[in-house]
Amino acid sequence: MTYIVPKKVYYIHIPKSGGTTEKYKLKQMYGEDLIEVPTGKHSPYDEQYADYDCIYTHVRNPHNRLLSLYLFCNELDFMPKKFISKERDEFLNTEHRLKIHLNATKYITEQSQFDKVMLHKLKQLHSTLSVENYVKWLNLVSKANNMMDEHFEYRAYLQQHLWISDNVHVKRIEDEEGEKLNETTRMTEHNDEEYLEAGRSTIQKYYSEDLRRFGYE
């Protein structure tokens, strides 16, 4: 989802980087003036908002962000359909996607055999949480960094710098004073550090530009 206040604020919601928390803040500040643009849940920088007064986003340490995404994918496997945003379903039947340079329609209606196999493998790996499956999942999603505009479903796995342009002000979620993320997934049976350590080398390899550009060690 993209959040805008016409001609004033344009917020780019990068998946698992605190965007839902920021939406609630913007809602408090601007009330009904805040518009959620249905872009199929998440969409990168769009030139049509380039003249807005405030253009910004949040980024997150890639190590924590990718683990959060893995856990969220697991949660979606068991989430009742009634909790899935109706805007996401409506997006498939709108023409707005054509204006934001997404090839989502072709992807959804014409999945290649490669896509079917890839998504099936990813689902298998995040359906059963384990350190071993997380590392295998990471290696698969890391390859999606070359598939951004071609395949909509891979978009969440991309490096964060691919979502923005030079005129976007970037805030690190870790630097926000008192910030609490709207984490919907909790891992109770394992230690986060075990997962983070296991995935460290893969993320350092495939997400190196995010680590460098946003100052994460």
How would residue 40 be classed by pLDDT, with cut points 50, 70 and 90? low
192: confidence class by pLDDT, cuts 50, 70, 90: confident
Give the tokens for residue 150: 């071609």
Pairing of strands 35-37, 169-172: unpaired
Mean pLDDT, range 188-192, rounded to an integer: 62
Which pLDDT does position 103 carry in this prediction?
39
Give the residues across from 11 on adjacent strands.
3, 56
End-to-end CA distance of the chain: 29
For residue 152, the surrounding DSSP H or E stretch is none
- pLDDT per position as a tens digit, 25-35: 999 999 999 99
**Alpha helix segments (H runs only) across the chain:** 19-30, 62-78, 86-91, 96-99, 104-109, 113-127, 131-142, 192-206, 208-213
User: What residue segments make up the domains of the chain, in order of their start?
Assistant: 2-213
SS3 label, residue 102: coil
146-180: pLDDT as tens digits: 665 455 566 788 899 989 999 999 999 999 866 55
